[in-house]
Amino acid sequence: MTAPTSARSVTVRAPAKINLVLGVGPVRDDGYHPLDTVYQAISLYDDITVSTAAGWSVGVEPIGDVDVSEVPLDETNIVVRAGVLLTEHHGIARRASIGISKGIPVAGGMAGGSADAAATLVALDRLWDLRTSDEDLLAIAAELGSDVPFALLGGTAHGTGRGELVESVGDAGTWWWVVVPNATGMSTPAVYAAFDDHGGGGSDSAAVLAALAGTDLDALTAGVRNDLQSVALELRADLRLTESDLVGAGARAALLSGSGPTFLGLVEDQDSAHEVREALLDAGHPGVLVATGPVAGAHVVQYA
């Protein structure tokens, strides 16, 4: 008698991203905004586990305190769109069940959904031995969302276009971040729409790229900038307190992550990261995390 074939699964880990600089230009005809950004992958992760199934399905479980109540469990989840696009690309009719272990705050401006999409592409490619080229994976990723290609790449990268054109940049630093999530998520399109009414923007990445090239924390502190920060603070006055609490606790800079509401404190080293985290927790900000970057993009952590 032969033993039943055990179900195979592949687990891929993908990181959260932050934008060290987010320079935003005037809205394009297609509704997107031209970006001049520097992405960094940091040590908060989602793990995606896929196995072949008769139909698409999605499950989610939190890592730590992450609130997963808003994660869709149907085909509107970006992981299913990723699976469908990959199967269409290869002209195959396979389906999978997709499990998400979520350590990246949801709707926080840290591209957790994009990380899940990137991890799903890599996991299904490996599960089914599709051998999709890097170029094709990046193109499918760009179709799924502006910051999905970066989640494949990881590290530190210069992003242009609507954010989907990514080029790795040298970054020999180990940078420490205090991550302050917020229970009330923000809608990225709403923040960009408010930016259109508000005007401004146009920051460029030159100072941050030079700071990274020189591994210069003072220059990085002076260079970090997010063109969506002032408009996000107008939409959400409560975030001003997060910003001032970070600075009051000794962070060198307080930076909005992407379109928010997560705030990032840039700090000197691991010890200061933990001191600033404690101070933020004492000030009543729940779920504050410490993270370091750069870290790797989507990569396999388990074949089972």
* Between 144 and 276, CB nearer to ligand C5P: 144
**Site for ligand C5P contains 192 (CB under 6 A):** yes
| Stated length of the chain | 304
Nearest to 117 by CA among 89, 73, 80, 88: 80
Number of C-beta neighbours around residue 67 at 10 A: 15
* Between 21 and 251, CB nearer to ligand C5P: 21
**Site for ligand C5P contains 189 (CB under 6 A):** yes
Q: Which stretch binds ligand C5P (CB under 6 A): 7-15, 29-37, 218-226, 250-258?
A: 29-37
3-state secondary structure of 301: strand
Is 238 catalytic? The answer is no
Residue with tokens 């005007």: 199
Residue with tokens 């179900």: 7
- Which of the following is catalytic: 147, 171, 227, 245? 147
Type of residue found at 43: S
* Between 35 and 86, CB nearer to ligand C5P: 35
Type of residue found at 70: E
Tell me: is residue 108 an annotated ligand-binding position.
yes
Size of the site for ligand C5P (CB under 6 A): 10
Tell me: is residue 109 an annotated ligand-binding position.
yes
Question: Which residues from 130-169 bind ligand C5P, rule CB under 6 A?
Answer: 145-146, 162-163
Q: Which helix (H) or strand (E) holds 273?
A: helix 270-282
Is 102 catalytic? The answer is no
SS3 sequence of 152-166 = HHECEEEEECCCCEE
- Cα dihedral 64, 67, 69, 73, rounded to 10, equals -60
Q: Which stretch binds ligand C5P (CB under 6 A): 10-18, 131-139, 185-193, 265-273?
A: 185-193
Contact residues: ligand C5P, CB under 6 A: 32-33, 35, 145-146, 162-163, 188-189, 192
Which positions are catalytic? Answer: 17, 147
Q: Which residues are annotated as a binding site for ATP?
A: 105-115
Q: Cite the annotated binding site by residue number.
A: 105-115
